[in-house]
Amino acid sequence: MKKILLIFAIVLCAAGISLADGGGFDPAKLQRPDLEKIKAKTTDETSKYYYPKLLTKFFANDTAMTVEEFQYFYYGALFQEDYDPYRPQYKPEELQRLEPLYYKDTHTRAENEEMIAYAKAALADNPLDLLQLKYLVYAYEHNRKDILARIWKYKLNHLLWAIAASGTGVDKDNAWIVVYPRHEFDFLNLSGLAVQSREFEEPYYEKVFVKRHAPRDPEYYYFNIQPILEQYYIKHPTER
């Protein structure tokens, strides 16, 4: 497990997601998420992991959250009243208007400000929008808002590490766990891997195929979507 996480750390660094920007993250500090414990703590008003408390800390312009708090914050989303694994993107028509900007190699200051404004609004709607976190960091960096860029890169790094610590992805027994299906693609793409396709495997796994960097590299990785399905059917029992 530690060896695979170390390899994964190298992939993250190669993708520009530097551990140096992540507060010296130590993979040994995180175990695979205990979802029952996370549910209990994030719904307990007396707990330091109570979800509204974590939400307030996440939006603070600092890097005070610990790696454990990020794990509770990421997986605690599953147990919140407004959780919907298939929730639509924030203001899709606005996102469609901005989409051409995301494919440009360079941007004006005004274009970066547009991306910042949308990203902040989208994150207020869904704080776990990994792509908008990426665009927020990019736009802050290119508009020379270096302190804000470092703060939000720290947050993005630690959310990615929370996912990374949930498994290795190499087989079903060690499948990674995400709280939104689109995070499968986001997580791998942000880690420097080019996603090609995915397929569902019973009873609750998704196999995501990636482009290999070398012949010995894995051709695919596994994600366990059982927690997503459980929470979805709790809220939509007629769809079973």
Could you tell me the two tokens for 91? 């203001």
pLDDT for res 28: 59
Could you tell me the two tokens for 45? 């008003």
Could you tell me the two tokens for 26? 């130590």
Neighbour tally for 151: CB within 10 Å: 17
Pairing type for strands 205-210 and 195-201 reads antiparallel
CA distances to 168, 208, 221 from 202, in Å: 19, 14, 15
Average pLDDT per consecutive 10 residues, the chain (240 residues; last block may be shorter): 38 39 55 96 98 98 94 98 93 96 94 98 97 96 96 93 92 96 94 92 97 89 97 86
pLDDT for res 7: 39
Report domain extents, the chain. Answer: 2-174
Could you tell me the two tokens for 180? 């939104």
- Cα dihedral value 26, 70, 199, 229, nearest 10: 140
